[in-house]
Structure 1
Amino acid sequence: MQKNWVRAIMLFSLIGLIFGWVRHADARNGQEALHLLNTVKPYMMSQQQITFKYTGYYGTCAGSDQNILEAGKKLSQAFEIPQEDKLGESNSHSVYTAKTEGAPGAVVTLTVASPEGPNGCYVVLRMDASEQAEQSDLLNWQEQAGNQLAKLGIQGQWNVMAQGYVNEQSWQNSADELVHAIAQAFKGKIVESYSDSKTISLSLASGEFQTSVKSGSQTVNLQLALHQESTTGKWRLTAGTPIITMEY
């Protein structure tokens, strides 16, 4: 039941990024990413995974495999990612995927697809980094990628996330008190929440971030989640702006 709820929230969030709840973010992208990473860092033993993800549309694919492949190759060249000659498949849909090392300890992945309905080529450009990666390298990559996305006319949204185990020395009380303390550190107002025996999730409206999505009538700038692993008993903290789109 719990896993189903988490997956539902992730799907709900992802659909929001793809189909129009997004609000345009300006040149503050780098500042917002830095603020997210630096604010959650004291609460984690380590930032085991950091993800920068940009989603948007590019040109017209209209469900054509050839168009998807051509768009993928062109974008691979633009972002200096080795080109792939064949499409893969995901959920019975053709998908172009290409990868490269973007920085030490970080992998850049380009995905191009043509979802049912829209004619545009759906594009995801993401960097997944381990704790060994230098934060400055990640921010530099985001800036350079952002400049290239603008040149290509790809309108979309940055989604930045950090995940790691909680530093137990940073809190003495309950998990609920911890996640609320982190919300206060972001100067966030809680607009949505969920909790069960092993998971606490908060959606925040925060003036610290301009990037946002709409969830019903609420504006969400940031999501926080604490999840206790069944096997180890450790609490895993995930933070994402404007939302979390990874499993937590």
Structure 2
Amino acid sequence: MSKRWTQTVIGIILLGLFFGWVRHVDAEAEQDAQLLLSVAKPVMQTNQKITFKYTGYFGACSGVNARVIAAGQSLSQELGFRTKDNEQSSNVQGIYTVKSEVAAGAVMTLTVASPVGQSACYAVIRLDALGSVEQDQLLKWQEKMTTLLINQGIQGNWNVMIQGNAVQDLVLENSPKEFLTDLVRSYKGYVVESYEDTTTFSLSLASSDFETSIRSGDQKVNVQIALHLDTTSGLWRLTVGTPIITMEY
């Protein structure tokens, strides 16, 4: 479990650093999230899951476990984590994690880590919510976290994703490719990278309507869309993320 946690956290961090977000967090982050969700939700029917994730540097822990714990506890208090019976925390070497329910169907998680051989601490604040949670409530949470994180001097990046079963009639009415083409138009984007196999279609878009972006090679990417056929249920699962998807689709 310790190894898995370490790989997960470092993977998230290195993914962001490797691709390199073009913009740091600012007021436009909430606008990007609102646009992403507003377009994707109407074409999803069931099992909606929404994830907000922010990754940034948080001081220097030098890989010392006591410093990681102290940094995590301090930051969790500043971000409003409350000590309740339903709060769960774990402490493995070099990683501090705490969870807290912020609303029915919405749980936020803070992870502070200091990988071996590095002096910096990294903070990952994440909100996992069901699609039934009001969108305005999620956006207000993001806005609040943005302010608190900046006040703590944590410069980083937001990654927002939504996943759920697509409205099957829309997919089958024409074809999966046409369904995705309609989404590309809705996001006012154009395709810069694509991938497909027998059960999966994935598109990376550049769109001037989004502020947050990454560089993938010499291309700018603002939005990533993936459509995957679950061969067990026969349903098409849609995943959309800005600037990219960092969850399994």
Q: TM-score, normalised by structure 2?
A: 0.88
Aligned residues of 2:89 and 2:99 also touching (Cα < 8 A):
no
Cα pair distance change 1:77/1:225, threshold 3 Å: same
Instruction: Assess, with a 3 A threshold, how the Cα gap between structure 1 residues 195 and 85 changes in structure 2: closer, same or farther.
Output: closer
Structure 1 residue 181: deviation in Å?
1.6
* Contact kept in structure 2, 1:82 and 1:99, CA below 8 Å: no
Q: Which residue pairs with 1:17 in the alignment?
A: 16
CA-based RMSD of the aligned residues comes to 2.1
Are the equivalent residues in 1 in contact too, given 2:168–2:235 (CA < 8 A)?
no
- Match for residue 41 of structure 1? 41
Contact kept? 2:201, 2:226, Cα under 8 Å: yes
* 8 Å CA contact 1:102, 1:141 repeated in 2: no
Residue 204 of structure 1 corresponds to: 205
SS of structure 1 residue aligned to 2:245:
coil
CA shift for structure 1 position 72: 0.4
Rounded Cα–Cα distance in structure 2 between residues aligned with 1:26 and 1:86: 29
What is the match of residue 97 of structure 1? 97
| Structure 1: tracts of 5 or more residues without a match | 1-10
Instruction: Tell me the equivalent position of 1:151.
Output: 151
Deviations 1:186-237 (A, max 9, x none): 1111111110000111111110101011111111111000011121111000
Is the partner of 2:181 in helix, strand or coil? helix
For the 8 Å contact 1:47–1:162, the answer to whether it is kept is no
Which moved further from structure 2: 166-175 or 68-77? 166-175
SS of alignment partner, residue 51 of structure 1 = strand
Gap change, CA 1:151 and 1:137, over 3 Å in 2: same
For the structure 1 residues 47 and 184, does the alpha-carbon distance in structure 2 shift closer, same or farther, using more than 3 Å as the test? farther
- For 2:247, the aligned partner's letter is M
2:62 and 2:39 mapped to 1: Cα distance?
Answer: 42
2:87 matched to 1:88?
no
* Structure 2 gap ranges (5+): 1-9
- The DSSP-based 3-state class of the residue aligned with 2:190 is strand
Aligned length: 235
Distance, in Å, in 1 between the alignment partners of 2:224 and 2:19 is: 18
